[in-house]
Chains A and B, each alone.
Chain A
Amino acid sequence: MNPREYFRQMPGRGPVLGSPLTERLHLDAPLLAALLLVILGGLTVLYSAGGASMELVIRQLMRFGVGFTVLFVLAQMPPRSYRFWAPLVYAVGLVLLILVIIAGVEAKGAQRWLALPVVGRFQPAEIMKLAVPAMVAWFFNERDLPPNKTDVLAALGLIFVPAVLIAMQPDLGTAILIAAAGLVVLFMAGLSWRLITLAVVVLLIAAPLMYFFVLHDYQRNRVDTFLNPEHDPRGAGWNIIQSKTAIGSGGITGKGWMDGTQSRLDFLPESSTDFILAVLGEEFGLIGFLLLMSVYLVIVGRGFFISWQAQETFSRLLAAALTMTFFIYVFVNVGMVSGLLPVVGVPLPLVSYGGTSIVTLMASFGMLMSIHTHRRLMH
C-alpha cells in the first residue's frame, strides 16, 4: 500500500479532500481554499480602500506571492526540522532583539527595525511570532505533560524574555501577541486550571499598576482614548469614532462596493491598513463581516483539526498555538476597529495592506500544512 492509500483511509479525512496533486505538494486543500477566499475578498476591499487604485492591490499581490513561496517551501519541510531548528532560530531571534535595542533604527519614537546588510530593514519581532511558540513547543516536547511547576517557570522564561525585550522597543502590541502565542502552547500542554485562575487574578490586579507605572505615555493615551474616545474627537479619538461611524453607517447590507463615504472621503484614517475592517463594514455591511468571519472560522477550525490530528507533542502544540494566534489577531483587530479594545497596531490578517505580517502569516500556514501532510501512521 503506498502512502497515499494510507492517507485516504485516515479517520476524519474524506477521499475528496486529499486530492493527489495537493498531497504531493504537501498542501492542505481546505486550508488553501479558505486562505484564497479571504485573500480575494481582502483584495477587493483593498481596491476600494486604496481609492480605486490598482497600485496597492498589485503591491499586495506581490507580497502574497512572496508569502505563498514561503508557505510552499515551509510546507515541504517536515515538522521535525522545525523542531530541530527551533532553539537556534529562537536564540538568533533573541540576539537580534538585543541588537535592536542597542543599534536599532528609530522610527516614530520606537526602535523596532534592524538594518542589516543584504536583508535590509526588518523587524526581528516578526521572527519571534513563530520562534516563541515553536521554542515552547520544543521545550514541552521533551518533557512530561502536564508540566510540573519547574517546567512552567522555565516556559514562562522562554516566553517573557523576548516579550519584555519587544515591549522595551516599545511595541507593546506585538509583545502581547507573542506572549499570547507562547502562553497558548502552555495552555495546550495542560497548564493546571489552578495556575490559570491564579494568572488571571494576578493579571487583573497588575493591569491598573501597569497602566500607571509601566506604560509609556503614548500607550496610556491609547487606553484613555479607548475608554473615552469622545474626549478628544478631533485628535486621539478621531480614528475610533470615524471607524465606528463607518461600520455603523454600513448597516446590514452596506453602502456598496466603492460607495463607502467614510473611507473614500478620507474621514477614516489607516483605511487600507489596520482599519480596513471598517471599510468592509461600511461597504458590505453586517453580511460582509459575517461572511469574512465565517471564512476565518473555517481557517481556525481547520487549524484545530490539524493540531488534533498531529501525532507528536511538538507538532500538536505548535499547530494549536499558530492557529490560536491567528484567531487572536482577528479578534484583536476586529475588537479594536469596532471599539471593543484599545487601538493597538494589529492588522486584520490576510486583508490589511502591509508587509511583514503577511509573510509571517503565510509562513505559519506553511508550517500547519507541513504538520498535516507529513504525518506518519503510528500504531
Chain B
Amino acid sequence: MRRPLTLKDHHNEQRIFSARLLVSAVLVMALSAGLAGRMMWLQISQHSRFTTLSDENRVQTQAMSPPRGLITDRNGVILAANRPDFTLELIVEQLPDLDATLNSLGKLVRLDPEDIERFRKRLTSPRRPWDPIPLRGRLSEEEIARLTVNQHRLPGVRVSANAIRHYPFGHLFSHVLGYVNRLNAEDLDAMTLAQQSNYAGTHFYGRSGVERYYEHRLHGQVGYRQVETNARGRILRVLEEQPPVPGENLRLSIDLKVQQAAYDALGDRRGAVVAIDPRDGSVLAFVSRPGFDPNLFVTGISHQDYARYREDHDNPLFNRALQGRYPPGSTFKPFLGIAGLDAGVTDWQRTIFDPGYYQLEGDSHRYRDWKRWGHGRVDLHKAIVESCDTYFYDLGFRLGIARMHDFLSGFSLGEATGIDLFNESTGILPSKEWKRAARGRPWFHGDTINSSIGQGFVLTTPLQLATATAILANDGGQVVPTLAADESHPPLRPDIKLKDPENWHRMERAMSDVVYGNHGTGRSMAENAQYDMGAKSGTAQVFSIGQDETYNEDELAERMLDHALLISFAPVEKPAIAVAVLVENGRHGGSTGGPVARQVMDAWLLNEQGKLDVPAPLARGPAPVGPSQ
C-alpha cells in the first residue's frame, strides 16, 4: 500500500479545501435565503390570495331547494304531493374504474341503456368536481338493500333521498295539474339572473298545467348554507344556514268529487268535460280523456312510454278541454238567440215557417234543417227547444256576421277565457276580416248561414263553451274560469248588458224546456232530477281527420261520426254550475252528453244523501292543509 501522506501536499490541499468549504457555506446561505424569500413571498405577499383559496377549498355554499308547495282540491284533498325518491348517484372522482363500477352496479340494480346514456351526458356537461351525478332514480327497497350490502366494495357509489313530485290520482288530473320534470338548461336560459339563483339546487320545474302556470308560487325561495367540507366533499360542519322558504300550497277550486264524476261519466270515450261555478268562476271539473300518468314524466319518461303515448291514435297527451277546437253545432244557438234579441232582429213573438230548409232570395241553394220535413211554424223558444236550424239560418242572416261576431265575443267565443293555464286555444269566431286575413277569401252569405248553427268556420274549445254557458247563466256577468282558489283574475271583457235583461231569463227557461219540454232534445238527462236545469245539445260534423294518421276501416267509420256536444247549467233559478261536455264521435249531443252533464251537476249540487244542497261560492283563501314536508 502506498503511503499517501508522504506524497501529498497537505498544506495546499487544506487550503483548497478550506476555500471550497467557504464557497459551500456561501452557497448554502444564498440558497437558504432564496428559500426564505420564497416562503415570505407566499406567506406575506400572497397571503390574502392563498387565504381566499384556502377558504374556497374549505367553505362551500350549498343551495337548499325549497320543498314544492302541495296542490289540493277545494276541500284540501292532496292532488300533488312530494315523496322521497331514492336515487343512485356516483361520485366519479372516487371511482377506481367507471366502467367496472357501472358493470357491477348493473348486476345489483336494473340499469337501462337509457340510464347510462343520460348519465354519460351529465358526466360530460360542466359540473363541479366531487358532485354526485345521478345514475338511476326510483330505486326499489330491494335494490337499496342490495346496494347497502355491497357498499364496502363500491367506493364513490351512494344512494340519496330527494323529494320528488307525486300525483296520487294519476290520470284523473293529468290535463289540469300537468306535471313537473327535470329543470333543464333551456328553462334556466329563459330566466332572469335573480330567478336563476332562486333555482340553484332545484331539480324540478313545472312543465305544463297548473304546475307550470303557478310555478312561481309553488316553487318557494331557495335557501343557502355554508358548509365546511373536506377534499372529498364530505360536509364536516355547517357554518351558516339560511333555510329555504317552502313553496306555497295551492288550493284549487276543483272539487275532487265533481272531477271524478266527470271523468267516470266520460268513461273510455274520447272527450272533455269542463264545469264552472258561474258565481265565482271556480273551475269545478276539468277533464280531458284519455289522459296520461303524470308520474311517469317526473323523473324523465322512458322512450318506450313516451312513444306509446305519442303513437296512440286517441292522443292522450292532447288537452282536448283546453286546446281541442270543435264546431259548437247547436250549442251555439242560445248565444246567437240572445244576440238576435238584443240587436232587435227578432223577439219571442216573431215566428217563421220552417219547410225543412232555408233559402236565400235569388239563390236556389237550400240550407237543410236537421228535420227533413221541417218544424212548421217556429218561434225562438221552440227553435231552442227543438233546435230548429232554419230559424237560426234566418236569424243569423238578419243579424249579419259583423254583429254576430261582435256580440258573441262577449261570451269568450273566439277569444281567450283567461283561465289560469298556458296555451289555451281561442278557437275561431269568424268575421269578414278574419276570413280575409286567414283564408284570403271574401265573406259569403253562405258563410254567415253556416256559422248560425255553429258550423262552418266556427270552432270552440270545451272550456270556451263552459265559460260562455257560465256567462249566460250569470245573466251576462263575466266569468273568468279560475283554477286557483285564492286568485281572482280581472275579467277580460265588459259584462254583457242587454237592453232588456228579461231576455236572459227567457232564454234560460227555453233551455230548461230543452230538458223538460215534450220535444226537448235533452229529455234524457232530467230523470229524477232534484233541481231544475237548462241545457242545449249539439252535434258537430267531423269534416276531416288528421291526414298523417292511419286508421283501419272500422276505426275510420267510427272517427267520421259526429261529435256530441252539450252545454247545461243548474239550478235554473240561481245557477251554481255550468257544464260543457264534448264526446268525440258521440253522435247525439242530448243522449250522449246529457247523462254526462247530469252526473257532473249531481256531484256538485247534491249532498251525500242525494238531496239538493248547493255549495256556497268559494271563500277564496289559502289551502287548509299544513306546511308541506
Contacts and interface: CB of A to CB of B under 8 A. Distances in A.
Nearest to A316: B17
B44 A338 contact: no
A262 interface: yes
Interface in A291-334: 293, 297, 300-301, 304, 307-308, 313, 316-317, 320, 324, 327, 331, 334
Interface string B145-169: 0000000000000000000000000
B228 interface: yes
B310 interface: no
Contacts of B42: 244, 247-248, 281, 338-339
Given A265-B57, A265-B228, A304-B21, A286 B13 contact: no
B619 to A, nearest CB: 56
A188 B441 CA distance: 109
Nearest to B54: A249
A267 B60 CA distance: 14
A244 B42 CA distance: 7
A338 B35 contact: yes
B39 A246 contact: no
Contacts of A261: 54, 57-58, 228
A250 interface: yes
B239 to A, nearest CB: 12
A267 B16 contact: no
B49 A248 contact: yes
B362 interface: no
Interface string B276-315: 0000000000000000000000000000000000000000
Interface string B14-27: 00111011001100
B156 to A, nearest CB: 15
Contacts of B50: 244-249
A141 B4 contact: yes
Which residue, of B28, B58, B232, has the highest number of chain A Cβ atoms within 10 A?
B28
A338 B39 contact: yes
Contact of B24 (A141, A281, A324, A340): A324
A307 B14 CA distance: 11
B196 interface: no
A234 B127 CA distance: 13
Contacts of A338: 35, 38-39, 42
Interface string B35-71: 1101110111011011101100110000000000000
Interface in B117-143: 129
B193 interface: no
B8 A145 contact: yes
A217 interface: no
A285 B43 contact: yes
A249 B17 contact: no
A30 interface: no
A190 B230 contact: no
A300 B7 CA distance: 32
Interface string A60-91: 00000000000000000000000000000000
Contact of B43 (A251, A266, A334): A251
A211 interface: no
Interface residues of B, number: 44
A304 B24 contact: yes
Nearest to A334: B35
B51 A251 contact: yes
Nearest to B4: A142
Which residue, of B31, B34, B42, B231, has the highest number of chain A Cβ atoms within 10 A?
B42
A335 interface: yes
Interface in A221-263: 234, 242, 244-252, 261-262
Contacts of B17: 188-190, 308, 316-317, 320
Interface in B178-232: 228-232
A270 B236 CA distance: 21
Contacts of A246: 50, 54
B2 interface: yes
B46 A248 contact: yes
B43 A262 contact: no
Which residue, of A190, A245, A327, A334, has the highest number of chain B Cβ atoms within 10 A?
A245
Contacts of A141: 4
B628 interface: no
A144 interface: yes
A365 interface: no
Contacts of A320: 17, 20-21, 24
Contacts of A308: 17-18, 21
B231 A267 contact: yes
A245 B9 contact: no
B423 interface: no
Contacts of B7: 144
A170 interface: no
B24 A249 contact: no
A144 B9 CA distance: 7
Given A246-B54, A251-B51, A313-B13, A188 B21 contact: yes
A263 B584 CA distance: 72
B35 A335 contact: yes
Interface of B: 2, 4, 7-9, 12-13, 16-18, 20-21, 24-25, 28-29, 31-32, 34-36, 38-40, 42-44, 46-47, 49-51, 53-54, 57-58, 93, 129, 228-232, 236
Given A190-B16, A265-B236, A267-B54, 11 more contacts: A142-B4, A189-B16, A245-B50, A251-B47, A252-B43, A262-B54, A265-B58, A290-B39, A297-B29, A327-B31, A334-B38
6 contacts: A142-B4, A265-B228, A267-B54, A289-B39, A297-B32, A300-B28
Interface of A: 141-146, 184, 187-190, 234, 242, 244-252, 261-262, 265-267, 281, 285-286, 289-290, 293, 297, 300-301, 304, 307-308, 313, 316-317, 320, 324, 327, 331, 334-335, 338-340
User: What 8 pairs across the A-B complex have the smallest Cβ distances?
Assistant: A248-B50, A249-B54, A265-B230, A190-B16, A266-B231, A248-B42, A249-B50, A267-B231
